[in-house]
Structure 1
């Protein structure tokens, strides 16, 4: 496959709207910072496997700037992946949002109704089903016990909802600012509690810990042993392993990585960007997933 037919992974990121290249349709990941994002490798691998001549780049948009930037966008945009700190702004920008996006307060996928500038956008949160898929791939179909989520941001909301979907009996959200954890717990409803991160310990009834702290949570005191059978989701993938991942790996306990989560939510984005429903498989999806996985290695 030649460069003339398929765009290369872009270097760095664009401060303004990325220029249009040779691709017939454009996509990008939005955020700040965004230069580290692995999404271009993932997405372009999928489109090459599918035979689609699409572009995918990185577009740095600082907090508070999403609506203005996308409102002035040019021709040819099919959609965007959205990362921190723009997921709440993407929720407000979208003309229509899914129940998962509404409940989590976060949109990580914008899909436009057409390629015309000013076309309305639909908002989705693929992180939630992506986490469920990542757990299933590891043979973890159910959470039998308490789920603890470290952090209270948009990723934490998605992890908490995914834990509920996997059957957690209770969800505890721990944050450095307990009032943020309490606010998120109140929004998510019954069976969810907000607590101080300073008080976090994985008790014997804990079946799942989701670490959504940027860069990975660094315990200030010894967290103790890993509860028997408890799984860890470590959302950060750079640097790796995170401190909690080291603890879990040392105990030979199940670990779902941030790259697992990134891969599976991206597969669902590829479905949506191609005009399919989120639960509608791609043509030869197993081959597409393996191509995407290889692009991460």
Structure 2
């Protein structure tokens, strides 16, 4: 008889997370009948007790906002990738009882771009300056040969992005959000802003843009992504990122190769079912 194995995604709010759809689809395709994957509404205050009460059946956790930094003090170690942005989205429980943290968002971004043939760019632009923007800078440290221009709304955000650039070895140049239309001429544009934030930029998409990586998947397509693809240019979406980072999570938690195509199809079907 196989031993039950558990995993879950934690965060707040969590109700609309697609992670259970992706991970469960992977388990089914991989024949992991005794594996389960759930979601739990957990805030920063409740996180320590939740982690302490996990038993030996647990294989791993996925973390979303606001827990990606709050989890770090509760772990026995984190990867260099996670340390580079001070954010953990994946925890694996080892056979000897250790809790190890990693960040699959960064390699997930790189994999999503490589899947579309984007291996290297000479320069890039980042719209926004939140937690996802720091992951974007970490990804760009691997694939961008030249400067990255970040378009931000405040001096505090500008300082944060400069700090991340120095830490990650990226030549970050700061511009005010009011000039964000200029970003659309970069070979690679990564939009890390909340829903609606880039809608006003859609009218300014150039006739022959480069590649857009818009990290949103709900709503989809965004106004910017829709206009971008309408110009015949390449768009990488939030579902691409979600699937690629989930593939890496499944592989770390199970030790087996994850079925990318099955997981993507499950995510697409779930979004269609939700009316997107």
- TM-score category, normalised to shorter length: 0.7 to 0.9
Higher normalized contact order (CA 8 Å, seq sep 6+, divided by chain length): 2
Q: Which residue of 1 aligns with 2:30?
A: 50
1:243 to 220, 223, 230: 223
Distance in 2 (alpha carbons) for counterparts of 1:123 and 1:227: 43
Distance in 2 (alpha carbons) for counterparts of 1:201 and 1:58: 38
More helix per residue: 1 or 2?
2
Q: Which residue of 2 aligns with 1:279?
A: none
Distance in 1 (alpha carbons) for counterparts of 2:3 and 2:18: 19
Check if 1:184 corresponds to 2:161.
yes
2:16 to 9, 19, 36: 36
SS in 2 for 1:89: coil
1:200 to 163, 176, 180: 180
With over 3 angstroms needed to count, the CA separation of the structure-2 counterparts of 1:185 and 1:227, relative to structure 1, is: farther
Distance in 2 (alpha carbons) for counterparts of 1:81 and 1:194: 32
Q: Which residue of 2 aligns with 1:274?
A: 254
Query: Displacement, 1:71?
Result: 2.2
- Report the aligned-residue RMSD: 2.4
- Per-residue CA deviation, residues 96-118 of structure 1 (Å, 9 max, x unaligned), is 11111111121110111249xxx
- Per-residue CA deviation, residues 241-280 of structure 1 (Å, 9 max, x unaligned), is 112212212212110010011111111111110147xxxx
Distance in 2 (alpha carbons) for counterparts of 1:23 and 1:235: 37
- Stretches of structure 1 lacking an aligned partner (at least 5 in a row): 6-21, 277-281
Contact 1:211 1:234 in 2 (8 A): yes
Contact 1:179 1:194 in 2 (8 A): no
- Per-residue CA deviation, residues 220-261 of structure 1 (Å, 9 max, x unaligned), is 567623373421111110111112212212212110010011
Contact 2:79 2:101 in 1 (8 A): yes
Q: Which residue of 1 aligns with 2:235?
A: 255
SS in 2 for 1:202: helix
- Per-residue CA deviation, residues 101-146 of structure 1 (Å, 9 max, x unaligned), is 111121110111249xxx431111111111111111112222232x
Q: Which residue of 2 aligns with 1:14?
A: none
Paired residue total: 264
Contact 2:202 2:224 in 1 (8 A): no
Q: Which residue of 1 aligns with 2:108?
A: 130
SS in 2 for 1:267: helix
Alignment of 1:37-116 (within 5 A): 37-52=17-32, 53-114=34-95
Q: Which residue of 2 aligns with 1:18?
A: none
Contact 1:205 1:227 in 2 (8 A): no
